[in-house]
Amino acid sequence: MPSKPRFLQNTLPDGIDLSPRHLGVIGAALKDALEEVLLCGKRHEDLHGTSVYLGISGGDRSFQAALAPHTPHSLLAAANSMCEDALRSPPHKTRVTFLEGGAGPLALLAVLQWELGQPTWRQHLEALLLMASQQVPQLGPGECEVLYGRAGFLWALLWAQRRLPPGSVPRHLQKELVRHILTQGRSGAAELGWPVAGLMFQWHGSAYLGAAHGLAGILYVLCHAMDVIDELDREQQGSGPDQGLEAAAALPDGGGGSRETCGRCGTVQLPGSWRAAVEASISGLVAACLPSGNLPSSLGKAED
């Protein structure tokens, strides 16, 4: 028997006010769609694998994100069951991200079981953290994209950190990942001729600009780790005046040029700082937009 479509068919006219009646229609459609995902997950039908991106854990993520603030305990428990099913499949050796591989289901289970008051959440978090030393190092140095690379694993850590008790995700793991991504990005920018203050990455020989494999996705993740980036900048600049001068002299421009202060957080930005590199890359992406407002798929392309 074919499964029902798992999308919300919009039967409401455009430009309407969201009255309680209309919200009820939307809520009922959402509930039906998510219940169908749950049934498919139980039957292991019409789902492609176990990942958040394509498989059972994506349904689990829908329950957790859309319904958790006001959902019955039973639906959170159902999401927990779906995610446990996902982890029964053998883990992919090189798929380590939130969207693809074991990191997504582990992060989801840790958060769900924390929300459900189950002490086993720590076991799933520990398994997630263990991936940082066992599986992530197996990635090639340049594998930094969101779908399959280090930025995708970093997102799993950041996502869990925001929802679990403070200090659950060790700071040093975040710093190691962010430092690696930034260093690779600066090397890639120099190699590809991207603005020297910015970051650029390659995936399978192309400098992609989009979300899954490209710069936009990596920058999105880095923007959620700006506190880590600022900490790396402070360490690079040194805590004392002499250390700061030594660090500045080691930067690509020898520490010359003017220093800028970030208007949002007050951080002093030396030329060549990591924060400056991220911000320059964002500006570069905006400048690379086509007249349509879209980004080209990669550097050197001139069409949507």
127 with 200, same domain? Answer: no
Give the domain-ending residue among 169, 194, 219: 169
Mean pLDDT across 255-276: 53
Confidence of residue 239 (pLDDT cuts 50, 70, 90): low
Residue 68 has pLDDT above 70, yes or no: no
CA-nearest of 271, 144, 110 to 216 is 144
Number of domains observed in the structure of the chain: 2
The secondary structure element, H or E, covering residue 268 is strand 268-269
pLDDT, tens digit (0-9, with 9 covering 90-100), for 177-219: 999 999 999 999 999 988 767 999 999 999 999 999 999 999 9
60 with 140, same domain? Answer: yes
145 with 182, same domain? Answer: no
- Classify each residue of 207-219 as buried b or exposed e, where b means 16 or more C-beta atoms within 10 Å of its C-beta: bbbbbbbbbbbbb
107 with 202, same domain? Answer: no
- Please give the Cα distance from 56 to 158 (Å, whole number): 21
Domain range for residue 148?
Answer: 42-169
122 with 189, same domain? Answer: no
- Please give the Cα distance from 76 to 121 (Å, whole number): 14
Tokens (6 digits) for 296: 């080209």
Q: Where are the beta strands (DSSP E) in 87-243?
A: none
142 with 264, same domain? Answer: no
189 with 148, same domain? Answer: no
What interhelical angle do 121-134 and 171-192 show, nearest 10? 40
DSSP conformational letter for 5: P
User: How many whole angstroms from its chain centre is CA 80?
Assistant: 21
217 with 264, same domain? Answer: yes
Which of 53-57, 74-78, 279-283 has the largest mean confidence? 279-283
Q: In this structure, what is the dihedral angle of CA atoms 209, 214, 217, 219, given to the nearest 10 degrees?
A: -80
pTM of the prediction? 0.73
- Please give the Cα distance from 253 to 250 (Å, whole number): 8
61 with 127, same domain? Answer: yes
pLDDT, tens digit (0-9, with 9 covering 90-100), for 292-303: 889 999 998 888
